[in-house]
Amino acid sequence: MPKRSSFRNRFSFYLLAIGSACGLGNLWRFPYIVGENGGGAFLLLYVFLALTVGMTLLIAELMLGHFTGVSVLAASRKVSIQSKKPIAAFGWLSVIISAVTLAYYSVICGWVLHYLTQFIMSLFQSDSSAYLSHMSVTMLQQNGWLQFMLASVHLLISVVIIVKGLGDGVERWITSLLPVFGLLVVVLLIGSLSLDSTPDVLRFLFYPDFSKLNWNSLGHAVGHVFFTLSLGFGTMVTFGSYFRKDEEHLPTLGLRVTLIDTLISIVAVLLIFPIAFSTTKQPLTDPSLLFEVLPRFLSTYKGGVIFGLTFFLCLWLAALNASLGLLETITANLVEKRPHLKRSVAASISGLAILFVTVFPAFSGSLFKSFKLRGHGLIEIFDSFLINGLLPIAGLGMVIIVTLGLTENDRKELFLHEKSITSQTMYPHWRSALKWVVPAVIVLGLLLQVLGLFFA
């Protein structure tokens, strides 16, 4: 077995899994898809799916990694040979999705970097509020070269960290900043909940109006659950392979990571929507939401610039942490596939390949502006096709690998904990959920989206 980066063994799995799960998906993507899908009913559907479908699959992926001790490509091949079932190809889908997602994710991380630099620059302006109030995502989206450059800087930093094997130090460092980030979020939350728009927001978020759900809602909820919990990418399989059973109980880890991630997403909507409602009188429903409302809101406050600067710095570091998880997964798979390659070479090759894909989302608002499908630009198509379409299919692949590739005894042994009676009670429920509920929900979500194309 190829040598893996040894820091992983000592590093707490919680921080690894939570660091990968919590990123732009929670603070940037979740609020706007809740807005897009009409609020309360979607939020309820999402929380339900995260705690059922998401948690079930998270445990399964960690299990596959821990059982095989390798990443998803080698893991799917290994169990395919053992079980004599043709399930090895599913691993490939996950790795391809990881690479394309990292390209797309890097562009959004580039947006965060741009805002961070704008906050820094505003410190040197005579009227920083006026300077900040002119920032616009639309202008950024139309500047392909700037987006490409920012995404390249982000990718380069990620590659250097992986190549230099600094992952351990960087992750520890970022994690130690998390309390600061948490504090900023709480202060922002108090500020935003004390706005006049809060009653309207609470009604929008917590009075479910099921008539607002549409053909796409189930698919969007499933896709986002997978994206935010880093499922279907093989990331959790890689992390599971670093996992030591004597250190932690797998299902407990899955439960806690799901709960924390879901909680952060709920805090994110509570934070963003009052500000969005008070400035635009309606929930924004597109990717610019976080970037449009937050800087404007902060620019009206004394000390808002320093606050915004620290907030975007923490947001970028959290996103960097999540990007490292993706790049680590791709690199680990490549090293296992080509054992003669050094980790540094594998990480550099992966980085270069991803940089090439980055061209498409980065230039979607400029060079590829005329490329439209049903009125949607390339970046929206990227997001939708990848996260609402391909990712659930990759998740289905994981279900197939774990249900067909592992035996009942293997799964049971990995799930049960000798001291926990709850684990014995929960096992049959988890197994049925994995075998029936998860595939049924994924297929239904995909089917409804396809039907929506004809009937909506």
User: Is residue 20 part of the contact set for ligand PHE (CB under 6 A)?
Assistant: yes
Stretch that binds ligand PHE, among 24-32, 137-145, 151-159, 183-191 (CB under 6 A): 24-32
* Minimum CB distance to ligand PHE smaller for 233 or for 363: 233
Cβ(237)–Cβ(98) under 8 Å?
A: no
User: Does residue 397 belong to the site contacting ligand PHE (CB under 6 A)?
Assistant: no
Contact (CB, 8 A) for 350 and 330: yes
Among 16, 17, 23, 291, binds ligand PHE (CB under 6 A): 23
- 194-233 residues in contact with ligand PHE (CB under 6 A) are 227-228, 230, 233
Residue 376 pairs in a beta bridge with 373
In the range 235-274, which residues lie near ligand PHE by CB under 6 A? Answer: 235
Q: Tell me the closest approach of the beta carbon of residue 235 to ligand PHE, in angstroms.
A: 4
Q: Give the C-alpha separation, 371 to 377, whole Å.
A: 6
> Does residue number 18 form part of the binding site for ligand PHE (CB under 6 A)?
no
What is the DSSP secondary-structure string of 230-289?
T-SSSHHHHHHHT--TTT--HHHHHHHHHHHHHHHHHHHHHHHHHHHHHHHSS---STTH
CB-nearer residue toward ligand PHE: 21 or 271: 21
Task: Write down the least CB distance from residue 331 to ligand PHE, Å.
Answer: 13
Contacting range for ligand PHE; rule: CB under 6 A; set: 16-24, 74-82, 141-149, 288-296: 16-24
Tokens of 193: 């909940």
The answer to whether residue 106 forms part of the interface with ligand PHE (CB under 6 A) is: no
Ramachandran assignment for 234, one of left (phi > 0), alpha (psi -120 to 50 degrees), beta (any other): left
Q: Whats the size of the chain, residue-wise? A: 456
Give 39 or 325: the residue with its C-beta nearer to ligand PHE: 325
Q: Token pair 């035996």 is at which residue? A: 407
Nearest distance in Å: CB 23, ligand PHE: 3
List the one residue out of 241, 240, 256, 202 whose CA is nearest residue 22.
Answer: 256
209: DSSP letter = -
Using the rule CB under 6 A, which residue among 8, 17, 18, 26 binds ligand PHE?
Answer: 26
| Residue closer to ligand PHE, measured from CB, 328 or 336 | 328
3 state DSSP class of 338: coil
* 170 makes contact with ligand PHE (CB under 6 A): no
Q: Which C-beta is closer to ligand PHE: that of 131 or that of 171?
A: 171
382 touches ligand PHE (CB under 6 A): no
Helix (H, G, I), strand (E, B) or coil at 205: helix
Number of residues counted as binding ligand PHE (CB under 6 A): 14
- Distance, in Å, from the CA atom of 171 to the CA atom of 165, rounded to the nearest integer, reads 11
CA-to-CA dists, residue 39 to 7, 23, 273, 284, angstroms: 42, 21, 10, 11
- Of the candidate residues 18, 24, 298, 354, the single one contacting ligand PHE (CB under 6 A): 24
Decide: helix, strand or coil at residue 145: helix
One residue of 17, 150, 268, 326 binding ligand PHE per CB under 6 A:
326
The least distance separating ligand PHE from the CB of residue 31, rounded to whole angstroms, comes to 12
Which is nearest to 363 in space by CA: 144, 142, 110, 114? 144
Give 326's contacts (C-beta < 8 A, 6+ positions apart).
Answer: 20, 98, 101, 102, 105, 233, 235
Taking residues 286 to 325 in sequence order and writing x for each that binds ligand PHE by CB under 6 A, - otherwise, the string is ------------------------------------x--x
Least separation in angstroms between residue 326's CB and ligand PHE is: 4
Chain residues that interact with ligand PHE, rule: CB under 6 A: 20-21, 23-26, 227-228, 230, 233, 235, 322, 325-326
